[in-house]
């Protein structure tokens, strides 16, 4: 199974049972959306689910579609149609306990992307301000130690 498929299953599972309590893997995987997600279709929906959750709202399929249709979060209204795709239907959903396992399989890849991004940003900063090499190195060391 690819990470794109895992992301789509995760979103389908949440949409299928929006009142279900999320475990730590699901919560963490959603926290990486949209920046580190691979599925073009799932990332805006996951982002909208997080926005609803933060506001204490249940991520209802129709409300999320309306939210995305308004262009919330800078998404183009066309992405709201992604939610209608069969990929996000009940046939692709898992019980939340199983979705927790699927989400856990996504986390190492997201952390690796986060590390690569951090190293890349440090490299770019060194190119712009080589005189701050020690400061950049200390910051990078601190960030990498926090993730490993």
The answer to whether residue 11 sits within a structural domain is: yes
The answer to whether residue 65 sits within a structural domain is: yes
The answer to whether residue 12 sits within a structural domain is: yes
| Phi, psi (rounded to 5 degrees) for 28 | -70, -45
CATH of the domain at 70: 1.10.860.10
Distance CA 59, CA 16 (A): 10
pLDDT-derived band of residue 10, with 50, 70 and 90 as boundaries?
A: very high
The SS3 call for residue 26 is helix
Q: Which domain holds residue 30?
A: 3-107
Using one digit for the tens of pLDDT, what is the confidence trace for 61-105?
999 998 988 887 777 788 888 898 889 989 999 999 999 999 999
CB 13 within 8 A of CB 99: yes
The answer to whether residue 40 sits within a structural domain is: yes
CB 147 within 8 A of CB 108: no
Please state the domain count of the chain: 1
27, pLDDT greater than 90: yes
The answer to whether residue 50 sits within a structural domain is: yes
Q: How far is CA 45 from the centre of its chain?
A: 9
Q: How many residues does the chain have?
A: 148
147, pLDDT greater than 80: no
pLDDT-derived band of residue 2, with 50, 70 and 90 as boundaries?
A: very high
The answer to whether residue 114 sits within a structural domain is: no
> pTM of this prediction?
0.86
- More confident position, 120 or 73: 120
């Amino acid at each position: 199974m690819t990470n794109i498929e895992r992301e789509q299953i995760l979103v389908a599972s949440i949409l299928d049972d929006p009142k279900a309590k999320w475990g730590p893997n699901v919560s963490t995987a959603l926290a990486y959306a949209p920046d580190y997600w691979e599925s073009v279709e799932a990332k805006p929906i996951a982002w909208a689910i997080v926005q609803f959750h933060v506001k204490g709202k249940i991520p209802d399929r129709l409300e999320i579609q309306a939210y995305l249709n308004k262009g919330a979060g800078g998404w183009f209204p066309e992405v709201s149609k992604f939610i209608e795709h069969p990929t996000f239907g009940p046939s692709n959903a898992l019980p939340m306990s199983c979705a927790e396992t699927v989400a856990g399989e996504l986390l190492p890849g997201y952390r690796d992307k986060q590390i690569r991004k951090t190293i890349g940003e440090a490299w770019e900063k060194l190119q712009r301000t080589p005189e701050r090499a020690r400061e950049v190195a200390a910051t990078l060391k601190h960030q990498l130690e926090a993730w490993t």
